[in-house]
Chains A and B, each alone.
Chain A
């Protein structure tokens, strides 16, 4: 009796919202057919059936948040003999309370057993021996871990994810109530309920919180430089005027993307990530551009930015930002970044520090261009300047390395012909 489970749809996804059923109970479904829609942390994706049969039971109502690997529906032969599969508990967590029912047979004789999902009878906590061992070694209760293996089995990767999550949450008190107390605890209502309104977390807000909390674990330092940008703005106007007939429209952000990419090529250390027991030096230069949305923040990525022309970067960033606003970004369009730019200049912010987008080693915060007086040869002049501040992960970068990059970037921005080289 095949179960349809919450699939993993992006590399940061831990749970999804079953936002809409496109089929109803009793409908015939075919392998590959879209039977529902899932809101992930980043986008709305299609839920496909992996089996042919009759959709016998929808286990969760629309709008339910479900952890990866947990059941959503049951597909059968139409006889209606749906085994008593419990609806997925709200993520995170698996109900550990049911008794020691034998696990479904892992392998059919002779051929590949890959799909233990097919025999989900009564539920019990499934975990690989290695996952149990690793959980025990780190003092984690498997019942608090979400399994993403076949049939919801907890595998090592899930334990490692739980360990990483626990590490970022360390300063907080134990989130999980002891199992004995959990059942009796009433829903928490703050006494000052009338003064505050509970706003349910969107997926994007949840992931943003999770990722940036993760980022806070990295030792940060900040370097700021003032860039004279008269030449840069002249360059932008000239490009846009000269190539207006070809529909070229380059923004300051596009110039920054290209300038950072070109400078990163000369400073490969900055284009790296902390990976626990090693540093990964990325061979491609993929620049993320933070885009503010009503419901949160997205960072679409311009891949191979050092190999792309300015007008191509301009076209891509515009199209990516539009997709971000309409929630139609594809997974590959917002993953794989190696360096991020966050520009709040258009909001009139003079200078700020940005939080690193893990696992990247650095992020550049760009402020607004402002006029300032300055003295040259004993005379007072006016010039336009912009403050840029780079946040660096000290595990990967040292002050001098980051400073070398930043002063090279300043030189590139002040002499904009360098941007196109």
Chain B
């Protein structure tokens, strides 16, 4: 981190992204923005508000409705020294550009003998809960996190959103920057000045001793809410916010569970083959002897997300789902609030 000044402002996640884009456009002439409706219309979710007026149509480019085309164009620009930041209107439309992302952006640096890196960012919001129906409510982060050659970040709060977007734009690898529709209006403290995150570092968002909840993006906000609620019952929940899905900070996850000996993964995406599965495997490899019970996962129901509001809410994981699983896990390990204490992890 580099930084000056310790003052903080409370701003929205949306504003934090806008601030980061403006700062990088100002700092580096090679940074350009591409995407549908990002210029005159200022973005479907107003992340690029004011940027066309400030930086002009050469650097803030409205593109045709052709994801494969403009992602491909950005890859070419990146190979020639630009730092393009692409907005795909929602993550669901990235499916049309998958060949460009997986077969080109992720592989060019390796396949052509390291002649040129591909320093680009693809920003896109995902997530359900907005009654946008099955094809417009997906997460799909594992599609990208599975692919070597890509970096994938998924910040949960405004400060991380800003610091990680700065880091992503400056990174020499293609970075998939995952936003979430329901986070755009959330507020949080963001330190003034330039703070650049290190991609690949998880954060202990809340310290605790009895149980670890591992989550990322919107799910972290749910985990924190649940942790604060359970603290009132004498249950000390540690929340690990992954922030980066590739590279994955396995050590921070394992260190936390070696301390608490109980782990729950909360994710917005479907359960099977998900981030939770990867975290479970990570804990088997890195914290097996410290687990007092199997790792538990809380995820979305494995159905195309329904449009009808009650069905949509039932399918998505929420605070009550998490609390239920936490209680089951505590019961299975004979937990009592007074007796809960960390074990000696030094030996």
Is this pair of chains taken from one and the same complex? Answer: yes
What 1/0 flags go to B125-159 for Cβ under 8 Å of A? Answer: 00000000000000000000000000000000000
Q: Is the interface of A mostly helix, strand, loop or mixed?
A: loop
Q: How large is the interface on A (under 10, 10 to 19, 20 to 34, 35 or more residues)?
A: 20 to 34
A148 to B338, CA, bound (A): 18
Query: Which among B38-46, B166-174, B187-195, B292-300 touches the partner chain?
Result: B292-300
A11 to B294, CA, bound (A): 24
Write the nearest CB–CB distance from A43 to chain B, whole angstroms. 20
A residues in contact with B285, CB < 8 Å = none
Q: Are A112 and B324 in contact (CB under 8 A)?
A: yes
Q: Are A149 and B294 in contact (CB under 8 A)?
A: no
Given contacts A110-B271, A155-B332, A157-B335, A129 and B325 within 8 Å (CB-CB): no
Q: Are B347 and A137 in contact (CB under 8 A)?
A: yes
Q: Is the interface of B mostly helix, strand, loop or mixed?
A: loop
A137 to B331, CA, bound (A): 24
Write the nearest CB–CB distance from B21 to chain A, whole angstroms. 40
Which of B293, B302, B341 has a CB less than 8 Å from the CB of A128? Answer: B293
CB of A202 within 8 Å of the partner chain? no
Write the nearest CB–CB distance from A57 to chain B, whole angstroms. 25
B residues in contact with A133, CB < 8 Å = 289-290
What 1/0 flags go to A274-299 for Cβ under 8 Å of B? Answer: 01110010000000000000000000
Give residues 295-344 of B contacting A (CB, 8 Å): 296, 301-302, 324-325, 328, 331-336, 338-339, 341, 343
A253 to B290, CA, bound (A): 49
Q: Are A149 and B334 in contact (CB under 8 A)?
A: yes
Q: Are A280 and B343 in contact (CB under 8 A)?
A: no
CB of B291 within 8 Å of the partner chain? yes
Q: Are B328 and A114 in contact (CB under 8 A)?
A: yes
Residue of A nearest to B293 (CB): A128
A residues in contact with B334, CB < 8 Å = 148-149, 155-158
CB of A73 within 8 Å of the partner chain? no
Q: Are B272 and A109 in contact (CB under 8 A)?
A: yes
Give residues 229-281 of B contacting A (CB, 8 Å): 261, 271-272
Q: Are B294 and A107 in contact (CB under 8 A)?
A: yes
CB of A86 within 8 Å of the partner chain? no
Q: Are A149 and B289 in contact (CB under 8 A)?
A: no
Residue of A nearest to B272 (CB): A109
Given contacts A149-B333, A155-B333, A158-B334, A131 and B347 within 8 Å (CB-CB): no
CB of B93 within 8 Å of the partner chain? no
A residues in contact with B328, CB < 8 Å = 112, 114
A129 to B336, CA, bound (A): 20
Q: Are B302 and A130 in contact (CB under 8 A)?
A: no
A residues in contact with B302, CB < 8 Å = 110
A148 to B331, CA, bound (A): 10
Given contacts A129-B288, A130-B261, A280-B338, A156 and B333 within 8 Å (CB-CB): yes
Residue of B nearest to A11 (CB): B336
Of B333, B335, B343, chain A has the most CB atoms within 10 Å of the CB of B333
A residues in contact with B293, CB < 8 Å = 128, 149, 153, 155
A156 to B293, CA, bound (A): 9
Which of B271, B290, B336 has a CB less than 8 Å from the CB of A130? Answer: B290
CB of A106 within 8 Å of the partner chain? yes
CB of A134 within 8 Å of the partner chain? yes
CB of A36 within 8 Å of the partner chain? no
B residues in contact with A109, CB < 8 Å = 271-272
Of B291, B334, B338, chain A has the most CB atoms within 10 Å of the CB of B334
Write the nearest CB–CB distance from B329 to chain A, whole angstroms. 8
Q: Are B296 and A149 in contact (CB under 8 A)?
A: no
A112 to B298, CA, bound (A): 8
B residues in contact with A156, CB < 8 Å = 261, 292, 333-334, 343
Of B261, B301, B341, chain A has the most CB atoms within 10 Å of the CB of B261
A110 to B328, CA, bound (A): 15
Write the nearest CB–CB distance from A326 to chain B, whole angstroms. 29
Q: Are A128 and B291 in contact (CB under 8 A)?
A: yes
A128 to B271, CA, bound (A): 24
Q: Are A130 and B332 in contact (CB under 8 A)?
A: no
Taking Cβ atoms with an 8 Å cutoff, the residues of B that contact A are: 261, 271-272, 288-294, 296, 301-302, 324-325, 328, 331-336, 338-339, 341, 343, 347
Q: Which 6 A-B pairs have the closest CB atoms?
A: A157-B334, A114-B328, A130-B292, A128-B292, A155-B333, A133-B289
Q: What are 5 A-B residue pairs whose CB atoms fall within 8 Å in the complex?
A: A128-B292, A128-B293, A130-B343, A133-B289, A150-B332
> 6 new A-B pairs (CB below 8 Å) besides A133-B290, A277-B341?
A114-B328, A128-B333, A149-B332, A149-B334, A153-B332, A157-B333
Taking Cβ atoms with an 8 Å cutoff, the residues of A that contact B are: 11, 106-107, 109-110, 112-114, 128-134, 137, 148-150, 153, 155-158, 160, 275-277, 280
